[in-house]
Structure 1
């Protein structure tokens, strides 16, 4: 008989257009039906949810399980990073890139819970900047400008808001002047995007940092040098296949530490607003234990 464990279950009920609530209920029922002690957690906002999660980890739960998308995983990572407490994920978002990394079931919460209960912990790296961790990719460039514009728009809701913001920013697409410090080597480069990958993808399977490994102690710094609007639109589908790496304007550096600086640009990591540049990001080997 499997060991009885104490598990903190933290859900975002609004994830995936409302899928979070139903999947959290299914996960809770499954965990309890298997004899585990489950603390069902939910904060009124992200700050309170993180405080509750950190308190549960400090109290000595056997695992923290989050139900939601990559934003919810991002929150859970802040609570468990470097603590030795494993993180489990029941996918319920739109992107679910962390779940993609380890091939977790993304549509069946009971199957996802059963995978977690097999208790196969995998030790992964995280990236950290100013005490805040991320698991997937920090991107700072055209995509960040689109996010900033979309966040200022009151209408429309959902994906259409980002589509309109993308079209608006494409009209004025121009290179950004970046200064990078790559393990102590300075690089000045004009580019439309700089991304720092702990893992290979973000945004629901956009494999911008194709080839990035989650357990090599390195960050993959991807530079997309100046590219025209039509060429950017043509190249975009290749990001989902990871074949953009052969494009002449693609450049990659593998480092342990990077500082990214550019005027007026905000970095987004795990789909969350991370902060304005400059940002110094370091790899933290083995900082996350993920149940997979």
Structure 2
């Protein structure tokens, strides 16, 4: 593929040293070389934190490409930055679950994604925020958040299965919680297990907890689970791998632009697999807030096929 500009177009490559137990860091060199071969001149920066990733992406030139190599948390943080800068986000798998890239249809081989850049298109995408913290996939509180916490604490190298391990540990600790969830002014109070708010709608290494969610429909999908036995909870999560869990009698589904969640006990809120805040929390959607490189036939984006992006191409 031609470069379009002499010497290659500069691209910011953000790398999370901690993602995937070092997976992103190990992939940085081959990804950098693949980007050079694709006609870019990568500037590689190891991020110090998620806010640092947001800051770096926010400082990128409008119309340039910011590639984020790391887990879902890094991708969400970078998305918050390109929202402000007008740069274009290229998500690259470098974590354990890699739900964002899976849902977008990009695949989990970052080098292969770069090699297929000519097949990707610039697509508008919504951005979620929970108490001001940006996210792309899911913001959640409850049992699933505790499972995520226990999975993140583990040093076991189980890949996406680490979240199943975390779920088994969380079962031993969970006690019933009363949630209050308000969606665009509609309030429900229930005793149950979790409340999940989806933009792309996938988390936990393949759990399509909000299976109808689209990343460009301008709304949030809200899925919660009320009273259920441990077997019912386990069945719900197992079925969510295929997105067939919404038929469970204790599942509630709603849609809206603004969601408030509170509970009768302290709970952490997770966003893109990272601890984001505590309840109470407000989740909002920013329609078409950023531009992202994704396949024309991405299963998570329902709009048009988008426009090509290659070094030197103008998008303005």
Determine if the alignment matches structure 1 residue 39 to structure 2 residue 43: yes
Cα distance change of structure 1 residues 82 and 215 upon mapping to structure 2, 3 Å threshold: farther
**Which residue of structure 1 lines up, in the alignment, with residue 285 of structure 2?**
283
Would you say the 8 A contact 1:7–1:61 is kept in 2? no
CA positional deviation for 1:205? 1.0
User: In structure 2, what is the Cα distance between the partners aligned to 1:242 and 1:119?
Assistant: 26
| Residue 183 (structure 1) aligns with | 184
For residues 198 and 43 of structure 1, the distance between their equivalents in structure 2, rounded to whole angstroms, comes to 25
State the shift of 1:97 in Å: 1.2
1:252 to 1:291, Cα distance in 2 relative to 1, 3 A: same
The residue that corresponds to 2:90 in the other structure is 88
Q: CA deviation at 1:200?
A: 2.3
Relative to structure 2, which stretch is displaced further, 203-212 or 23-32?
23-32
> Separation in 2 of the partners of 1:161 and 1:33?
34
> Which of residues 52, 55, 69 in structure 2 aligns to 1:51?
55
Alpha-carbon distance in 1 for matches of 2:116, 2:237: 33
Q: TM-score, normalised by structure 2?
A: 0.82
Any unmatched runs of 5+ in structure 1?
A: none
Task: Give 1:51 shift.
Answer: 3.4
Q: Which residue of 2 aligns with 1:20?
A: 24
Offset of 1:139 from its aligned partner? 1.1
Matches of 1:234 and 1:34, distance apart in 2: 44
Q: Cα–Cα, structure 1 residues 206 and 120, in superposed 2: closer, same or farther, change >3 Å?
A: same
Query: How far did 1:37 drift?
Result: 2.3
Q: Distance in 2 between matches of 1:202 and 1:68?
A: 15
Q: CA deviation at 1:162?
A: 6.2
Compared CA separation, residues 67 and 258, structure 1 to 2 (3 A): same
Give the TM-score, by structure 1 length.
0.88
**Residue of structure 2 in register with 1:271 after alignment:** 273
Q: Distance in 1 between matches of 2:13 and 2:190?
A: 44
Report the Cα distance in structure 1 between the residues aligned to 2:149 and 2:107, rounded to whole angstroms. 31
Offset at residue 71 of structure 1 (A): 1.8
The residue correspondences of 1:1-292 to structure 2 (distance < 5 A) are 1-4=2-5, 5-55=9-59, 57=60, 59-60=61-62, 62-107=64-109, 109-118=110-119, 120-148=121-149, 157=156, 166-262=167-263, 263-292=265-294
Q: State how far apart, in whole Å, the 1-side matches of 2:232 and 2:50 are.
A: 38
Quote how far apart the aligned CAs of 1:158 are: 5.1
Q: 1:169 to 1:113 in 2, by over 3 A?
A: closer
Superposed CA RMSD in Å reads 2.4
Measure, in 2, the Cα distance between the counterparts of 1:230 and 1:181.
Answer: 28
Tell me: CA distance 1:172–1:65, structure 2 relative to 1, closer, same or farther (3 Å).
closer
Deviations 1:114-152 (A, max 9, x none): 33354510111111133321110111110223344566x
Output the CA distance in 1 between the equivalents of 2:255 and 2:42: 41
Name stretches of at least 5 consecutive residues in structure 2 with no aligned partner.
295-316
Provide the C-alpha distance between the structure 1 equivalents of 2:128 and 2:284, rounded to a whole number of angstroms: 6
Shift of 1:268: 0.4
Contact (CA 8 Å) 1:149, 1:165: kept in 2 or not? yes
* Residues 288/116 of structure 1: CA separation in 2 closer, same or farther (3 Å cut): farther
